[in-house]
Amino acid sequence: MYLFSNAIIYLGLAISLYSLLIITLGISTKNQKFVNSGKGGIIALLLCSSLAMLSLLYLLGTSQFQYVYVSDYTSSELPIIYKLTALWAGNSGSLLLWTFFLTLYTAMIAFSRKMKGNPMVPYISAILMANAVFFFFILAFVSKPFAILDAIPIEGKGLNPMLQNPGMIIHPVTLYLGYVGLAIPFAFAMAALILKNVDDFWIKMTRRWTIIAWLFLSLGNIFGGQWAYVELGWGGYWSWDAVENASFMPWLTATAFLHSVMIQERKNMLKVWNISLIIVSYALTLFGTFLVRSGVLTSVHAFANSNLGLYFLIFMAIAVIGALYVLMSRYNLLKRSAGEFQSLISKESSFLVNNLLLVGAAFATFWGTIFPLVSEAVRGTKVTVGLPFFNKVEAPILLSMMFVMAVCPLLAWQKSTVKNLRKNFLVPAIIAVAAMGLMIFLGMHKAWAVIGYGVIALLLITHFLEFYRGVKARRKMTKEKPLVALYRLMIRNRRRYGGYMVHLGIAFIAMGIIGSQNYDLETMKTVPLGGSIELKDYRLNYERLDQKKEGVNDIVYADITVFKNGKKLGTYQPEKVFYGNWDQPSSEVSIISSMREDLYVVLSAWEDDGKATFVVKINPMMNWLWVGSFMIVIGALFAIWNGKYGNVTPRYTGVCKEVA
Amino acid sequence: MKNKVYLGFLILFVIFQTPLLRVHAAEFDYKSAEFKAVASQFRCTCGCGQDHFECDPNTCNETKEFKQDLVDMMKKGWDKDKIRDYYVNIYGEEILTAPEKSGFSLAAWTLPFAAIGIAGAGLFFVIRKWVKRKAPDETNETVQDIEEEVEGEILSSLIDEERKKYL
């Protein structure tokens, strides 16, 4: 097994190198045979990465502790599912998973039906192969997943209990799919530039892949937040940790691209800008990996320190310099077709403002993340840039973003006149202001919250109007029933209405964030057995403290009966788990959830006489966050679904070059 | 005599107050909003990556003592800025969870907004240039109404559908 698995990695490196060279040779000598041979190499490479991953899964599943990776991240009593998911618990395993996704995506594109006959394919394959060479090189020489120990340990070190949670199974996988996914639009962009062919087909394919990567990135962040909320006993979901920022930045720039590419599609403008956004998004994924794996910044997500980060930094530098070179050499070509705007106020302008704010938010995040390093370099003092900074700096930017999102649907393409603005905005604006007045009247006095909810109200109204007007217009012509008209309207304009669904999802998430950040209540009390804690309308009766054993873990738990306004809600058991093979205990919180608020109970400590300390939190509107997240997924899937009327990505029908 | 009795009561009252105060100190709510405002300014250096509000005093001794010191200062009537200055004087800016809003650290706070402002101004001029480029040949074009636009889109998709049916 040792020989086999290591051989597979070296073979992978050789094949990826071969494919890269032979495809490049095929392109330069216009020899289809060479290109086809390279494509065969891609399949072989997918096979290699799959076999390597299966080998590691097998070793993890059967607890072969002679392997460093297996003994570092698992132990024999670990449930089988966590033994397997330990694949992405450490550096080399997660890079192997990354490599697998990369080869999978590459094969999907190289053998896509839609891309058949497209001269971009060899270029895209070559660029992705260059990525694969890098990853196989890392797996073969820097971070070896199949390294072996001299002596076989009896037991492994075990998996960090924080990672033993369903959220942890899926959070890294989705995030990696998103990260790797952004390499695809990058490869498309580079191929298009090299071929001097930034056409409509390119836009459609690139956007589609960007939405896929964007969706996975969103999912990755959402699952991460959800995991933090239920597992860390802290009651929060986003801490602006360096690594969270690293995944948030490409998300922002990819979002910006998804909007500005519409201008390119309609007006044939902003080509340089769009390609820059793709390059930046891709570079940011590598930068994020550099942050996680280098240890230059302290982070809860950081992997064990290694010099791996340096390799990523070098690779990122090469990729960015190469990309900029290609972009500059094609600059005149892209510049030539610059178009024009008809008015200062139009949908096009609002998209540009959206881009400004999204990229601005990404820059603010970047600046805050690297500021400790900048400060240390400039004046020798290492400062911490944490949650209070990001909350203060990002809130106004993202709120302005929400405002643009609210206003944009009602702006006309080309040109909006004052009359047209008044007609479209008067009613929504009045309702939104009235809603804000009502909030103040009902006792909401926090300015940010009132403004935030006001903007969200405006957003909901303008989006409702979009659906309403669409249905009305359709019914005028087709005389369909309202629901039928709505359904047909949506499936015939998937991108547009999928996008609106995503907007609504973002609005719900924003509602959850504003509610939980501004109106949360918290208390920490020590009570004797039989005592009670009161917080707002809730009363928690502390009934019992006991201990149980689950496998090698000891669990201390408390029975708490919860009443709301005197009505019993049930008995809950917050726990503290002490692990047989891990020093740090962890909290299993009890969450009583409703659309209005979550009651969040943590068993913090206890004494011999039965006294126990609890942290009790009320987090308003948390469920809106999860509902909004769900809508984002539905909206994004709706937008990229290839239905009967999808025609989202037509088959390539352009000119056939020498090699494809 | 009367005064002495009053004084005696007062002394007794103060004596009985002390244990009450102690109980109060022991049960100080570390999760209260006023404590959050003070404690969340400071970074816990035990390696947890949290601030002194979030870090659990039951598992971290460092924050336990730190929290107690904060409560003592709050009881002395110090406000959060005074407490902040006190710690920054001892440990430097490193102890804070966010950079100071003065000196070089001010750049952390202002640069993002300055960048957005400058880029925004640039964007305004660029769009104006694009509009001007259009201006000379601008005729009295009909302004597309949103409703018309949606109708147009629907119409074209219907036509497209019909076309697909027959072609």
Q: How confident is the model over B98-128, as pLDDT tens digits?
A: 998 888 999 999 999 999 999 999 999 988 8
Beta carbons of B146 and A424 less than 8 Å apart: yes
ipTM: 0.85
A565 and A464 within one domain: no
DSSP B41: T
- Please check whether residue A297 lies inside any domain of the structure: yes
Residue B138 confidence (pLDDT): 45
**Strand A567-572 vs strand A575-578: parallel, antiparallel, or unpaired?**
unpaired
Task: Using a pLDDT cut of 70, give the percent of chain B over it.
Answer: 69
Contact A384 B134 (CB under 8 A): no
Are A333 and A391 part of one and the same domain? yes
pLDDT for A16 equals 95
Q: Closest Cα to residue A491, out of A382, A331, A638?
A: A638
A645 touches chain B (CB under 8 A): yes
Residues A346 and A467 in one domain: no
Quick one: which of B56, B42, B58, B98 has its CA closest to A235? B56
Instruction: Report the b/e string of B43-73 with b at 16+ CB within 10 A.
Output: bbeeebbbbbbbbbbbbbeebbebbeebbeb
Does A530 share its domain with A484? no
Identify whether A357 is part of a domain. Answer: yes
Residue B20: what pLDDT? 43
* Angstroms from A378 CA to nearest CA on chain B: 9
| Pairing between β-strand A538-550 and β-strand A532-535 as defined by DSSP bridges | antiparallel
Determine, yes or no, domain membership for A558: yes
Query: Does residue A339 sit in the same domain as residue A291?
Result: yes
Gap between the terminal Cα atoms of chain B: 115
Residue A337, chain B, CB below 8 Å: the answer is no
Chain B positions touching A603 (Cβ under 8 A) are: none
In a domain, A123, yes or no: yes
Paired residues of A587 in beta bridges: A576
Q: How far is A290 from chain B (nearest CA, A)?
A: 20
Distances (CA, A) of A186 to A118, A180, A189, A193, A319: 17, 10, 5, 11, 10
Kindly report the number of other CB atoms within 10 A of residue B138's CB atom.
11
Residues on chain B touching A424 (C-beta within 8 angstroms): 146
Task: Supply the mean pLDDT for chain B.
Answer: 76
Domain boundary pick from A368, A402, A436: A402
Q: Is the pLDDT of residue B23 over 70?
A: no
- Tell whether A455 and A350 lie within a shared domain: no
Reported as a pLDDT band with limits 50, 70 and 90, residue B135 is: low
Per DSSP, the residues of A325-350 read HHHHHTHHHHHHT----S-SSSHHHH
Smallest Cα–Cα separation from A303: which of A251, A249, A246?
Answer: A246
Nearest to B97 among A241, A388, A584 (CB): A388
Residues 582-611 in A contacting B (C-alpha not used; CB under 8 Å): 584-585, 604-605
Looking at residue A660, its pLDDT comes to: 61
Residue A390 CB partners (closer than 8 Å, separation 6+): A240, A245, A364, A365, A368
Highest mean pLDDT among A599-608, B4-13, B136-145: A599-608
Q: What is the pLDDT, as a whole number, of residue B1?
A: 52
Q: What is the pLDDT of residue B149?
A: 66
Same domain? A595 vs A606: yes
Residues A335 and A261 in one domain: yes
Q: Is A353 in Cβ contact with B154 (below 8 Å)? A: no
Q: How many helices (H) and strands (E) does chain A have?
A: 20, 10
Q: What's the confidence (pLDDT) of residue A295?
A: 67
The total number of structural domains in chain A stands at 4
Is A378 a domain residue? yes
Tell me, yes or no, whether A512 and A533 share the same domain: no
Domain assignment present for residue A647? The answer is no
Cβ-based contacts of A353 with chain B (< 8 Å): 120, 123
Residue A391: its H or E element:
helix A387-407
> What are residue A613's DSSP bridge partners?
A526, A605
Considering only CB atoms, which chain A residues are within 8 Å of B128? 344
Boundaries of domain holding A587: 521-622
Query: How distant is the Cα of B123 from the closest Cα of chain A, in angstroms?
Result: 8
Task: Say how far apart CA A316 and CA A310 lie, in whole Å.
Answer: 10
* Claim to verify: residue A259 and residue A338 sit in the same structural domain: yes
Work out the minimum CA distance from A83 to partner chain B, whole angstroms: 26
Q: Specify the pLDDT at position A318.
A: 94
Q: What is the pLDDT of residue A630?
A: 94
Whether the per-residue pLDDT at B140 is higher than 50: the answer is no
Whether A60 maps to a domain, the answer reads yes
Residue A171 lies in a domain: no
Interface of A with B in 435-474 (CB under 8 A): 469-470, 472-474
Q: Which residues in chain B have their CB less than 8 angstroms from residue A375's CB?
A: 99, 104-105, 108
Where chain A has pLDDT below 70, the residues are: 295-306, 336-340, 416, 643-660
For residues A210 and A340, membership in a common domain is answered with: yes
Tell whether A270 lies on the interface with B, counting CB pairs under 8 A.
Answer: no
Cβ distance A524 to B29 less than 8 Å, yes or no, reads yes
- Which of A410-414, B41-45, B134-138 comes out lowest in average pLDDT? B134-138
Residue numbers in A near B106 (CB within 8 A): none
Residues A145, A31, single domain; the answer is: yes
- Judging contacts by C-beta atoms under 8 Å, the chain B residues touching residue A385 are 98-99, 108
